[in-house]
Amino acid sequence: MLNIHRKFCRETFYDGRLVDFQPVYQENFNFAYDVMDVIGREEPDRRAMLWCNEEGEEHTFTFGDMVRYSNQAANFFAAHGVGRGDRVMLILKRHYQFWFALLGLHKLGAVGIPATNQLTKKDIAYRCNAAGVSLVICTTDGDVADHVEAALPESPTVHTLVSVHGPRKGWIDFDAEFPSCPDVLERLPTAAKDPMLIYFTSGTTGMPKMVCHDFTYAIAHIITAKYWQNVVPDGLHLTISDTGWMKSMWGKLYGQWFMEAGIFVCDFDRFHASKVLELFAKYHITTFCAPPTMYRFFIKENLADYDLSSLQSACIAGEPLNPEVFYQFYKATGLKLREGFGQSETTLLLFNMVGDEPKPGSTGKPSPAYHMDLVDENGNTVPPGTVGEIVVHTEGGKTPGLFSGYYLNEALTKEAWHDGLYHTGDTAWMDEDGYYWYVGRTDDIIKSSGYRIGPFEIESVLMEHPCTLECAITGVPDPIRGQIVKATIVLAKGYEPSDALKKELQDYVKKQTAPYKYPRVIEFVDELPKTISGKIRRVEIRKEK
């Protein structure tokens, strides 16, 4: 064990708790060279990844393997015209080739653009043109490669298509050509402030934005893995996320490998709670992270039927945590879920730190890596108990982990990042103990009769009622109150829409929270409008008459 992460940060503690985190890096820092290659050279047999799929295949990759395969991938891409600063789109699901390819691109100084296999022709063409993509490496599973080909005539910057998981006419077969590429590579010039990753954020309004991160982004994920996920050397960590989502960068790469732990990857197409639960005992998974929806599915299973004894720590992110989920999972496992909050534009901003007592429903306290604040519309700090916007102070410059900006969109960058503050667009309030409680997006706040009402609290109450499968709270115009609360609800199986059920839900909310927050309007629907990443598009609900 090298404890290599300590080389890249200065940690300050008070009473045993981390209170300050300062990244340390050279001007040419590159995770692939400075972390992966060093571990691979010093401890080549250390496990880096345990990979399996639904067909029963299993592979264990060591850090030594990752060095060789990333070198081969770098040489492969270089042979096909990819160099420093070039943009490459990766649509590779959870195939192990994704990690070889991305690390190889890091070594070239190229910009990786991971994307989901759920994209359509229109989505792909938009992304290729917006980012100036030159090469697309894509799985042949499903029909996404067809969509890539269909988008090609509208994507003039793309000059090369590469297939994974089988040949395809007119494409270069990665699996056939990659093994013959040299597995040695002289270090190439790259800079810590070079662009490393671009992720398209689906957002709840407008077209997807291009979030650009430089090479220092990786260092900020030491906190993610060490102090939130509780990852330890020789452990095995599972984060449920496709590589097309930014969450995979939080839990399937940088932080875990900084901690010299293994990552567990199951290459599946559809989430089945029972199958995932079986993996913990079979592979001795020690730490785990998933969104609340996954935990809800777990809870619906009889957890007593599954051996979760290997699991030492579990955390949760992606959407606010309903306290009911916290208590039910704790009752079944004895583990207290640690919620965290961040964005594609950042790493972990707020979280329940290892060693702290989690408060169910709270996103925790500010990360020691950032100078956080809650401010009003004029940028002034608000007192405890008052809702404000979550912001990051940047008067001293960009903090590693914070995005470089929205790629090629200075106006949009300035809209979010001005006056020495990065504005998240999310709101919360802080209690007397310093814990933050998420309220909602700034444009989701409902202003009714002088009250400011956040959607999450009401949604949490409605989710406790057995009839509710999914719900969204929005404001609708009212001539007297300004706005009133509306609940749009997808019913669980066995329930039918009725006026009686509406009344029952309204009364239920009145009993569980302040009466002025109850939904005066309730609409039952078959499904909620969502982004491609699964976020509820409240803006679409608000547009409805």
Q: Residues 345-403: pLDDT tens digits?
A: 999 999 999 999 999 999 999 999 999 999 999 999 999 999 999 999 998 889 999 99
> What pLDDT, on the 0 to 100 scale, is given for residue 20?
98
Contact residues for 534 (Cβ-Cβ < 8 A; gap 6+): 293
How many Cβ atoms from other residues are within 10 Å of residue 26's Cβ?
A: 10
For residue range 106-154, list pLDDT tens digits in order.
Answer: 999 999 999 999 899 999 999 999 999 999 999 999 999 999 999 999 9
In CATH terms, is domain 4-430 a member of 3.40.50.12780? yes
| Cα–Cα–Cα angle for 302, 303, 305, rounded to 5 degrees | 75
Quote the tokens at residue 374: 């809650």
Given this model, what pLDDT does residue 453 score?
84
What residue spans define the domains of the chain? 4-430, 447-543
Same topology between domain 4-430 and domain 447-543: no
pLDDT at res. 455: 86
In the prediction, which pLDDT does 17 show? Answer: 96
- The H or E element that residue 441 is part of is strand 436-441
Residue 307 CB neighbours (<10 A): 11
Is residue 278 within 8 A of residue 251, CB to CB? The reply is no
- Residue 483, classed as helix, strand or coil, is strand
What pLDDT, on a 0 to 100 scale, did the predictor assign at position 545? 62
Average pLDDT, the chain: 94
- Check residue 447 and report its DSSP letter: E
Residues of the chain scoring pLDDT < 50: 204
339: left (phi over 0), alpha (psi -120 to 50) or beta: beta
Q: State the pTM of this model.
A: 0.88
**Residue 93 CA: distances (Å) to CA of 99, 125, 246, 364:** 11, 19, 13, 31
DSSP assignment string, 87-101 = EEEEE-TT-THHHHH
Which residues are CB-contacts of 311 (< 8 A; sequence separation ≥ 6)? 280, 285, 286, 287, 288, 333, 335
The whole-angstrom separation of Cα 254 and Cα 224 is 9
> Residue 491 belongs to what H/E stretch?
strand 482-491
Assigned CATH topology for domain 447-543:
GMP Synthetase; Chain A, domain 3 (3.30.300)
Q: Is 140 exposed, middle or buried (CB count within 10 Å of its CB: 0-12, 13-18, 19+)?
A: middle
